[in-house]
Amino acid sequence: MKQQQIKQVVIAGGGTAGWMAAAALAKLLNKDIEICLIESDDIGTVGVGEATIPPIRTFHKLLGIDEQEFMRATQATFKLGIRFENWHQPNSDYIHSFGMTGKECWAGEFHHFWLHWQKMGNTDDFADYCYELQAAKQGKFGFSPQNPINYAFHMDASRYAAFLRAFSENLGVKRIEGKIERVNKHVDNGFIKSLSLDNNTEIAGDFFIDCTGFKGILIEQALHTGFEDWSHLLPCDSAVAVQTKGTPDPLPYTRSIAHQSGWQWQIPLQNRVGNGLVYCSRYLNDHNATKLLLDNLIGDTLTEPKIIKFKTGRRRKGWNKNCLALGLASGFLEPLESTSIHLIMTGIIRFMRLFPFTGVTPQAIDEYNKQLQSELESIRDFIVLHYKVTDRQDSEFWRHCQAMEIPESLAHKIALFKETGRVFLDDGDIFRVDSWVQVMLGQGVKPAQYHHVASLMNNQELSRFMQGIKQQIAHRLAQLPTHKEFINEYCRIDD
């Protein structure tokens, strides 16, 4: 088969995924390709992916996006991590933060020294040695060249798509209004040839990016890629979302509050709060889930509750023939660790690094899909960890999670940490050792051992080392304003 040069890229669907793809391709590859995006004003988007993780800042820098402009446009606030409430057991809580805890050495990470410190009779919490985590607990935020901080954002996903649309159209992306009625394929090789719209126009392209959400109109309905179901590992299959009025002092972290059949999120923006309940329909029906959410809100509602049904898992190929799937079209991992937008971003960057200027090759497809599978399985394992490692036995849902069989990759990580205190990352891991340790300790896993190097310090040296870290954190925290004060100075939106 003669390879087809890629000159025209067609993005099917808008929303966060579609406009992130358009923005990146237009900014970084626009001299070589033409980009058009098809979307319909009549088709809504899920629009609840409002929390992010720190690599989004790198994505914005790559595109030359001004952070303050972006934050004002999306009514964004800062995020230092996620507070998990009731996950280990009812009335317990811990924070999974974006910061590095303590200081590491060649033989192991800081938690080995903290474990030895505990054995010596000290009762300091592991969280006491993380700057970002302590800033989150105190409701503080700020940064300067002398006092950096690792952060992400809470933002309005619909406004983010609109912001990126304006950004993309300014760079020459053509938006076409219409609904896709038919996907036309080449007879000889099954590649996508064009898309027929409901207004009798036909949009031809050399490469197609599917951002049509759960339907996967191109990647699944046309190319029959197949789906790998992970609901046996992540049993939640539903969510109900609603917006409420904003709070006077928005927290610099997401709240994740476990309940008897799933968990509730609270995401504070500048002008409102995004709320939702993720649940398993086998244990909680839609009516009771909606009532449970509405009974546990802070502030008056601004919207009607919206039910979202989903199946966790992934397409068997993220790139199939001349089609790339992004966002919900590529699969779904529940939003517990705010990875949805991150997966869109990494998918775009990976695709651009393998971009088939001179034609699609099996080698590029295979490499993309291999890396995507590794990344998705690592994130899946990290999310499953929260459900599996818990002392909750107070409902059928939690008893099911405790008893369920988990992937060998995760079982090995848990067993290794329990026995030795060690965590080793896989190739696709986006979460650092610190993240795994914070969650495992927070969920109640205490290692039986730690690295011998931690015990080589005498008592005086270890005390000086540990106290020095805490003093440095206290000094840095004293310089920070409140989260609200920094937002008012940096990116406040006009009422």
- Domain tally, the chain: 1
What was the pLDDT predicted at 108?
Answer: 74
Is 337 a residue whose pLDDT tops 60? yes
Mean pLDDT of 272-282: 96
Q: What is the mean pLDDT of the chain?
A: 95
- Amino acid present at 389: V
The catalytic residue among 7, 61, 79, 309 is 79
Q: In this structure, is residue 189 part of a structural domain?
A: yes
pLDDT, tens digit (0-9, with 9 covering 90-100), for 351-368 = 999 999 999 999 999 999
Contact (CB, 8 A) for 485 and 491? no
Is 495 a residue whose pLDDT tops 80? no
Q: How many CB atoms lie within 10 A of CB 170?
A: 10
Q: In this structure, is residue 252 part of a structural domain?
A: no
% of the chain with per-residue pLDDT over 70: 97
Residue 47 to residue 63: CA distance in whole angstroms: 22
Q: In this structure, is residue 494 part of a structural domain?
A: no
DSSP letter at 30 equals T
Measure CA of the first residue to CA of the last residue in the chain; give whole Å. 59
pLDDT, tens digit (0-9, with 9 covering 90-100), for 93-114 = 999 999 999 987 766 789 999 9
* Domain range for 163: 8-50+156-228+313-360
pLDDT, tens digit (0-9, with 9 covering 90-100), for 162-192 = 999 999 999 999 999 999 999 999 999 999 9
Specify the CATH number for the domain of residue 36: 3.50.50.60
Q: In this structure, is residue 251 part of a structural domain?
A: no
pLDDT, tens digit (0-9, with 9 covering 90-100), for 58-92 = 999 999 999 999 999 999 999 999 999 999 999 99
User: Would residue 79 show up in a list of annotated catalytic residues for this protein?
Assistant: yes
Q: How far is CA 329 from the centre of its chain?
A: 16
Residue 275 to residue 292: CA distance in whole angstroms: 12
Instruction: State both tokens at 80.
Output: 């230092």
Indicate yes or no: pTM above 0.85. yes
Is 2 a residue whose pLDDT tops 90? no
Q: In this structure, is residue 95 part of a structural domain?
A: no
% of the chain with per-residue pLDDT over 90: 92
The Cα diameter of the chain in Å comes to 79
Mean pLDDT of 329-340: 95
What was the pLDDT predicted at 46?
Answer: 55
pLDDT, tens digit (0-9, with 9 covering 90-100), for 39-54 = 998 766 555 569 999 9
pLDDT, tens digit (0-9, with 9 covering 90-100), for 373-421 = 999 999 999 999 999 999 999 999 999 999 999 999 999 999 999 999 9
Q: In this structure, is residue 371 part of a structural domain?
A: no
